[in-house]
A and B are shown apart, each in its own frame.
Chain A
Amino acid sequence: MSKLTFTRRGLMKTTAAVGAGLAMPHLFIRGANAFTNEPGSGSVTLGFNVPQSGPYADEGADELRAYMLAVEHLNGEGDGGMLSTFSSKALEGAGILGRKVEYVTGDTQTKSDAARASAKSMIEKDGAIMITGGSSSGVAVAVQALCQEAGVIFMAGLTHSNDTTGKDRKANGFRHFFNSYMSGAALAPVLENAYGTDRKAYHLTADYNWGYTTEEAIRTATEAMGWETVEAVKTPLAQTDFSSYIAPVAQSDADVLVLNHYGGNMVNSLTNAVQFGLRDRMVNGKNFEIIVPLYSRLMAKGAGENVKGIFGSTNWHWTLQDEGSRAFVRSFGTKYGFPPSQAAHTCYVQTLLYADAVQRAGSFNPCAVVEALEGYEFDGLGNGPTLYRAEDHQCFKDVLVVRGKENPESEFDLLEVVEVTPVEQVTYPPDHPQFAGGQLGVCNPGA
């Protein structure tokens, strides 16, 4: 007669065996897929990971508006927006590869860990095949690495640091937005024309990844044309009152202040600089000038009157008159009542580019998408002829140099485009020192 006994060890073994048994069918199904989150025949899910809370929430809200508009257009609703002006005619407003486009959203909170958590949840729980979004380079770099590991495509939203497609580039990640190097290369000639070659610059730089690469890019570009950098001071990202950083600028012999700040930092530092009378100063016999390398209309709105006459660069602006930009502004403006921001534009374009790549490749497999996007040349999406370079997955296109408008005609009319810098002038080799140290690696289809 056998004796039945329960031991703790025995119970654990049994639990593990039963657990493994229950998980088995799932493992087989996963193994049967060629790649992560292969969609069924009915619909496909995209993951929009944007800051819905935190300091960049307004930018995130605009990104989300653009994504929803893109989904509408991909599914054949609305006026079609830039689908009609896009040089590729693969998309016909019938979803992607015949599947209706659906989406889930996540909140990055502009924090890398929160952004990774929400992206992970969208991939694992919601079955998102592609993740896109972000309003910060720190977030973009973190989520891009996660997508590489998970085997899904990452289409970066607003991220301007060189590192996103430089030392932190990944095979599964793609960036349409321009970068710090391009800002420097585009701004330098305009600054030379406006302010001459004999200038002394003082940099205030946000103390994080994007700040460093922007400072380096602007310093390199301006020093090459003869400017001297007298001081470069890092400012904490959480700083709100910049007066103690601005005051020493007036005490130095600098005649230009470069604010490598974005978002709330830029609004506050620029406001403080104007309050301290920097723009009314004469130094070295010249007018004191302020430069903001990366401009956005939403930021310009925050800084109010203070942006007037100040140079900066931007990826896109709603006043552009090409067919694509006009179609997008009409579509977005009719739906929401105001023109789109550059963040909205790049997110809309990225969604279309992903859908188009899948359509052309005939597959959702990330490696097929990577192949379709690498070296892809397109037009009609608001930036003129554009190349998705194969070596680093960075888009190369014209860059806009803008200036705060002196006499705005409306609350949206804050910046004026002073120069469209041709793409040749902002192109650099993939192994340029500012981008060195990164490897794309190989595409990861996951599963």
Chain B
Amino acid sequence: MDAIILQVLNGLDKGSAYALIALGLTLIFGTLGVVNFAHGALFMLGAFCAVTLNVILRASFTTIDETRTDFLGNPLKVETPYVEYWFGPEVGGSIIEWSVPLAILFAIPVMALVGIAMERGLVKHFYKRPHADQILVTFGLAIVLQEIIKAFYGANPIPTPAPDAFSGSFDFGALVGFDAGSIIYPYWRLVYFGFAAAVIAGVFAFLQFTTFGMVVRAGMADRETVGLLGIDIDRRFTFMFALAAIVAGLAGVMYAPINAPNYHMGMDFLVLSFVVVVVGGMGSLPGAVLAGFLLGILESFASMAAVVTLLPGINQVIIYLVAIVILLTRPRGLMGRKGVME
């Protein structure tokens, strides 16, 4: 039983990331009708917002310490971060330590700008083109973004730790009455889950309870009629693209402490997120979220040693197997609407 709870918990954080990325994908697909293969790259850019803010906060000036030597025997160059110099080592150190949560504030404008630039500069020109063209151009863009990040930060993962307050793990087993030590779960992953839930709730509330959201939903249902009513739907859709980019970016920012960011991380999530969208139902926002969590948890279960021993390789194909079964039994996906992509 404790093993099952543990794998459910494990699935939650991965599912959170899938759900957030798939949510953005669905928003873009639902509003603009564009299949955005650069969405994984936006997740990666978000993680690198965290890395970049960390680098900025660590910006240092150099002093020479004559009493110590470096690896070549020359006097040691000591780097002191400006924030520690300005605010004192303690406060400055704390600011650097909290760089990941602070990066949320940094990532929102950056990702919004990236989203707007992407939509206005490139994707806009492909609205009327076939899906294959959209996939090619956005996939190409994803590769370009990856290579830019690699040129700046190299190919190796860059450790971006969570604040010390969240770096440990807690004994979930003891909390719910199992043996102490049987279910250990890292704090940060719980934070990630909570954060994802808040972002998802925020996006839904925005779409459900604001006039802007209502127009966007109307546009998703029937773009032409909304246009005929004299509403500039294009501008709103640009905003939605930016919003989707922010959601993917925030998912990336908060994911940075879970796995050290590298330039390739977006691709790892992209394909799975597309499966999530299809399983959830093309164009269905609740479907994307539901399928995200469902597939995250299933993937976790399939990686258990007992399961892998019984069915070798199942951990690598489980998501696709489930996708096949669901699409065979419910061709529109779990919560797909009639008429979308049919």
Contact = CB atoms under 8 A, between A and B. Distances in A.
B148 interface: no
Contacts of A280: 168-169
A330 B303 contact: no
A133 B299 CA distance: 37
Interface in A166-223: none
A53 B262 CA distance: 13
Contacts of A54: 155
Interface in A274-318: 275-277, 280-281, 298-299, 301-306, 318
A53 B168 CA distance: 34
B308 interface: yes
Interface stretch (A85-93, A146-154, A230-238, A367-375): A230-238
A264 B304 contact: no
Given A57-B150, A236-B315, A267-B260, A244 B7 contact: yes
A55 interface: yes
A233 B7 contact: no
B156 A264 contact: yes
B252 to A, nearest CB: 13
A339 interface: yes
B305 A302 contact: no
Contacts of A241: 14, 258-259
B14 A248 contact: no
B157 A264 contact: yes
B181 A236 contact: no
A36 B155 CA distance: 35
B264 A55 contact: yes
Interface in B164-189: 167-169, 181-182, 184-186, 188-189
A306 to B, nearest CB: 8
A56 B155 contact: yes
Given A236-B316, A277-B186, A318 B260 contact: no
B268 A244 contact: no
Given A55-B262, A244-B10, A245-B303, A275 B169 contact: yes
A233 B312 CA distance: 10
Interface in A125-184: none
A434 interface: no
A375 B134 CA distance: 60
B268 A240 contact: yes
B310 interface: no
Interface residues of B, number: 46
B265 A240 contact: yes
Interface string B296-311: 0001110111001000
Contacts of B305: 231, 233, 248
Given A244-B299, A248-B305, A277 B168 contact: yes
Contacts of A234: 308
A280 B171 CA distance: 12
A319 B73 CA distance: 12
A244 B296 CA distance: 10
Contacts of B152: none
Q: Which of A244, A250, A277, A330 has the most CB of B within 10 A?
A: A244
Interface string A367-386: 00000000000000000000
A245 B185 CA distance: 13
A408 to B, nearest CB: 12
A251 B159 contact: no
B308 A233 contact: yes
B159 A58 contact: no
B89 interface: no
Given A54-B155, A281-B181, A304 B300 contact: no
B66 interface: no
Contact of A333 (B7, B72, B76, B181): B72
A365 B6 CA distance: 61
A329 interface: yes
Given A251-B2, A251-B3, A275 B262 contact: no
Contacts of B161: 304-305
B70 interface: yes
Contacts of A303: 159, 260
B70 A58 contact: no
5 shortest A-B CB distances, which residue pairs?
A304-B159, A57-B155, A244-B303, A277-B169, A275-B186
20 contacts: A53-B155, A55-B155, A55-B264, A56-B155, A57-B150, A57-B155, A233-B305, A236-B316, A240-B268, A243-B300, A244-B300, A244-B315, A247-B10, A250-B181, A275-B169, A277-B186, A299-B156, A301-B156, A318-B71, A410-B70
Interface of B: 2-3, 6-7, 10-11, 13-14, 70-72, 76, 150, 154-159, 161, 167-169, 181-182, 184-186, 188-189, 258-260, 262, 264-265, 268, 299-301, 303-305, 308, 315-316
